[in-house]
Structure 1
Amino acid sequence: MRSQTLPDDQDAEGSQDKNPDGGYGWAVVIGAFLMVVTSYGTSTAWGVMQDYYEREMFGDTIPDAQLQLSFVGTFALIFANACGPLAQVLRSMWGTRFVLLIGTFLIAIGLIIAGFSNQIWHLYLTQGILFGTGVSLMYVTIMAVAPQYFDRKRGLALGIVASGSGIGGLVMPFIMTPLNRSLGAGWTYRVVGFVCLGCDLLACLLVKDRFKLPKQRKSLSEIIRLDVFKDKNFCIWSLGACVQMLGYYIPYFFLPSYATWVGLSPSEGSSLVAVSSAVNFAGRIVAGILADRFGLVNINSLFLMISGLSTLLIWTFAYDFGTLMAFSVIFGFFCGSYFSLGKYIVAPALLPFYLVELQPANARAILRISVSPITLNILGMERFPSGLSLVLITNIISVFGPNISSAIDGSAGAEPFFAHKMFAGVAFILGSLIMLWLKFSMNRKLFAKV
């Protein structure tokens, strides 16, 4: 595919030679990093706000408050995942800066208005829909721009941006908890909203395309091709990706509430999420290193099994801070392998942009470094963008894991949070077994590197 944004007489090798491999690109990385820290940090820290609302506002007045509140984080994740194609279409029509500004104001308005919420459904509209949509528009667009400035250091640059999720998950709980305690949830949301507004406006100023985009509207049919479901291994992988992610968000959403239920302070509950987020980032890096040596599917299955066992055998019997911290560290380290082996750093909806904006050699470099190796191994280069987009769409089912476990917990009549522990643990173990199925479907040898 020829580039539509580079001169016609410039071949792939020449374009790489003239790529600054940094330069102003580091300013783009800073802007993208700030956006990821604030936005995804806020999403990860929803458990802190859920615990506050359950204890201070809705727990005594609404019988199923925990279940209803869990949908706030779910809606935010749904819209953060689902609006990637929308961001791509808007960017193709009106350009990068327009989409970034729209996303910035949706994030800020969603959080600031959430500070005035006095009903749970208000939070669905504000943090759920407005904030989630803004996060998707910002993240998808920013991650389409950053790789334009890098060749050899592209993996480093995108890794720095992606690390903002772990850093944000570490920092935001320590900001929200004291604000909740001293000012209440309303002012916590307003303060966080203005922090996001400042960081995201700076990102809008710093992030700009290196190559001018052609103004042409793209249709969804150009992004998603359903014929990839004819591949048996892809269907197994889609099922495995969906099942393993059903349990991922449950500890992050409910550990603060569980901590206060067993008698710990809100600050101790927040620290559990913060520490888990920090080691989660380290675990993703280690998973990538081990996968290069032992195989992508093999390592993903192993990490999933350890995550499930830690949930069933540690969290189930954790009633003090030390045991809960041990669970947070072990679970956090192993639970994120999907994001380094199965998911992506660059959102899949952006890949058609890359294949248009860059020469073929550069496009292949992005696919090797920045996106899901498992999907690429199964489908190959041609069908890869559609396949990864569809994996993302099926993952929308997974974000209902916290809601399903809350519904079971409310009707089972067992000890509080028991259903959350069992549901998360079983989801991880079942996901591990499905990945083993995929391994033997791709290669029947027991010790094959798959």
Structure 2
Amino acid sequence: MPEKAESLRSLTVRDDWQSYAEEAPKTDSAYPDGGWRAWLTVAGAFLALVCTFGQLSSFGTFQSWYSEHQLQDLPPSTISWIGALQLFIFFFSGGFIGRIFDAYGPRVLMIPGTAILVFSSMVTSICNQYYQYILAQGILFGLGVGMLFYPSLAAISTHFDKYRATALGIAAAGSGVGGVVYPIMLQRLFISCGFGWGVRISGFICLAVCALACCTVTSRPGLARTSGPWFDLSHFRDDKFVLLIAGSVLISLGLFIPNFYIVTYAVDHGVDPSTAFYVLAVLNAGSILGRVAPAVLGDVCGRFNILAPSVFFAGLATLVFWPLAHSTTAVMLYAALYGFFSGAFNALIVPCIAQVSPIAQLGARMGLLYSALAFPSLAGGPAAGALLRAAHGSYIGMIALSGATVVAGSLLYVWARVRIDPRPLARV
């Protein structure tokens, strides 16, 4: 009997070890957290975001140009509908794009997305009527951005787990780089080449850069593709995910108002128009560091632990410092500060979605959250313009709207963090 018991014990140990040996590679290989394929995906996503979200966050350049040239007879609140519609289409398309990504991967979306983005630029270059800008620069451009933005970031999340926030932060820095380059480049092209050729040159640059992104962005090999309903209500049973959506909805109502109006604000407060375009570049330059540093800290200290205070300070900076910025230096300092803290939202929101989601549903949940942001993003710019007009040129109401909604959204992030783990020092 002792010999039989020992034999059974040895067999059990061997079976357990064999089972562990079979399962361990699967667990380890699920998230390689590195390798040439993973880092090429990060590099490709960086390039995609330079041309997509980088341009999207630079709409203030077009807003200021249109108000002095093609659309000078229209009020700022009407012109801002072009940029607001870009954001709406970009965000709203996320639900459908995320679902397609889960089923087919990134390239089936990114290749046609590149074609739509470039076509949008070419059509915008020959527009001269408001409705034409709405169709070409508002709807088409927003759709093209979505078809490149979501697959790029979702693909990164399939390669990384431990260093997911860092990888996504590096990629998200591409939007900051684009936000620095595009306002300066477009302004100089508009002056030297004219508006039409300036936008066309921008389109050709997008074609080259996004083609390279399409070649380098891939999902993790062997990832199981899921096929589910286009709209799954079961996601809303997760209270942490619902709180993340609710906070993001409030934040998106005010987050992009500075991007739309900081250039106009600078000009109205005595900054030379040729210099005012650099204010938006400074804001986006601040967001480069704001996308990388908080992301690295998020992998060390917890993503929710960094996201919530960063967004809170973005709103606080708007409420406290923007109303006091009456000189070129003060406006530049506010822009840099706001860019840094608001950049954390763009870098950490996707890692936080992934943290509370099954990996097979990441694309769908990411798209669902961004789709929910479509409506406040559509309302934010025009609402700010309406407040500006109602106050006869005073920016105080617009600033209050921007700052208060961002601060309120950050408090809901704190609530979501507490629901995950109520311990104050927990790494969440």
TM-score tier (shorter) = 0.7 to 0.9
Q: C-alpha distance in 2, partners of 1:150/1:387?
A: 17
| 1:34-113 matched pairs, under 5 angstroms | 34-59=47-72, 61-62=73-74, 64=75, 66-88=76-98, 97-113=107-123
CA–CA distance in structure 1, aligned partners of residues 198 and 145 of structure 2 = 19
Alignment partner of 1:417 is 2:395: yes
Q: What is the aligned partner in structure 1 of residue 264 from structure 2?
A: 257
1:436 to 1:129, Cα distance in 2 relative to 1, 3 A: same
Structure 2 stretches lacking a partner, 5+ long: 1-20
Other-structure match for 1:351: none
Q: Distance in 2 between matches of 1:208 and 1:291?
A: 24
Does the 8 Å contact 1:45/1:252 carry over to 2?
yes
Question: Residue 332 of structure 1: SS of its match in structure 2?
Answer: helix
TM-score of the pair, normalised by structure 2: 0.81
Q: Are the aligned partners of 1:77 and 1:132 in contact in 2 as well (CA < 8 Å)?
A: yes
Match of 2:283 in 1: 276
2:254 matched to which residue of 1? 247
Aligned to 2:229: 220
Summarize the Cα distance change of 1:422–1:151 in structure 2 as closer, same or farther, 3 Å threshold.
Answer: closer
CA distance in 1, matches of 2:137, 2:118: 10
C-alpha distance in structure 1 between counterparts of 2:121 and 2:187, whole Å: 16
Measured against aligned partners, the alpha-carbon deviations of 1:131-167 in whole angstroms (never above 9, x if no partner) come to 1111221233344555666788766554432221111
- Aligned AA for 1:392? Y
Residue 25 (structure 2) pairs with residue 13 (structure 1) = yes
Amino acid across the alignment from 2:314: S
2:139 is matched by which residue type in structure 1? I
Please give the alpha-carbon distance, in whole angstroms, between the structure 1 residues aligned to 2:319 and 2:105.
48
Q: 1:32 aligns with which of 45, 52, 59?
A: 45
Distance in structure 2 (CA, Å) of the matches to 1:179 and 1:278: 20
Which whole-Å CA distance do the structure 2 matches of 1:155 and 1:213 have between them?
A: 20
TM-score (norm 1): 0.77
What amino acid does structure 2 have at the position aligned with 1:56? Answer: H
Counterpart of 1:137 (choices 147, 158, 164) is 147
The equivalent residue for 1:403 is 382
For residues 207 and 294 of structure 1, the distance between their equivalents in structure 2, rounded to whole angstroms, comes to 28
Correspondence for 1:189 among 178, 193, 199 = 199
Q: Rate the CA distance shift 1:232–1:160 in 2: closer, same or farther, 3 A.
A: closer
Instruction: Note the C-alpha offset of 1:27.
Output: 4.4
**Contact 2:98/2:366 (<8 A) preserved:** no
Alignment-mate amino acid for residue 279 of structure 1: G
**Counterpart amino acid of residue 314 in structure 1:** F
Amino acid at match of 1:429: V
Q: Would the alpha carbon gap of residues 409 and 87 (structure 1) be closer, same or farther in structure 2, given more than 3 Å must change?
A: same
1:354 aligns to what?
A: none
Deviation at 1:26, TM superposition (A): 4.6
Q: CA deviation at 1:102?
A: 1.0
2:7 maps to none
Match of 1:353 in 2: none
Corresponding residue to 1:372 among 345, 352, 368: 352
SS of the aligned residue for 1:220 comes to coil
CA distance in 2, matches of 1:299, 1:217: 31
Say if 2:175 is the partner of 1:175: no
Structure 2 partner of 1:365:
none
Match in the other structure for 1:309: 316
CA gap 1:213/1:285 in 2 versus in 1, 3 angstroms: closer
Cα distance, 1:79 vs. partner?
2.1
User: Does the C-alpha gap of structure 1 residues 201 and 305 become closer, same or farther in structure 2, counting only changes over 3 Å?
Assistant: closer
**Which stretch shifts more, 425-434 or 312-321?**
425-434
**CA contact under 8 A between 1:91 and 1:99: conserved in structure 2?**
yes
User: Post-superposition shift, 1:203?
Assistant: 2.7
Inter-partner Cα distance in structure 1 for 2:38 and 2:67: 43
Query: Which protein shows a greater Rg?
Result: 2
After superposition, the C-alpha distances for 1:245-293 in whole angstroms (9 at most, x for unaligned) are 2211011111111122223233422222212212223224443455567
Q: 1:219 to 1:72 in 2, by over 3 A?
A: farther
Please state if 1:390 is matched with 2:402: no
User: Aligned to 1:336, what secondary structure does the other structure show?
Assistant: helix
The residue number in structure 2 matching 1:427 is 405
| Separation (CA, whole Å) in 2 of partners of 1:113 and 1:137 | 18
- Is 1:327 equivalent to 2:342 in the alignment? no
CA RMSD of aligned residues (A): 3.6
Q: 1:325 to 1:101 in 2, by over 3 A?
A: same
Counterparts in 2 of 1:383 and 1:415: CA distance versus 1, 3 Å: same
Question: Is the contact made by 1:19 and 1:149 (CA closer than 8 Å) also made in structure 2?
Answer: yes
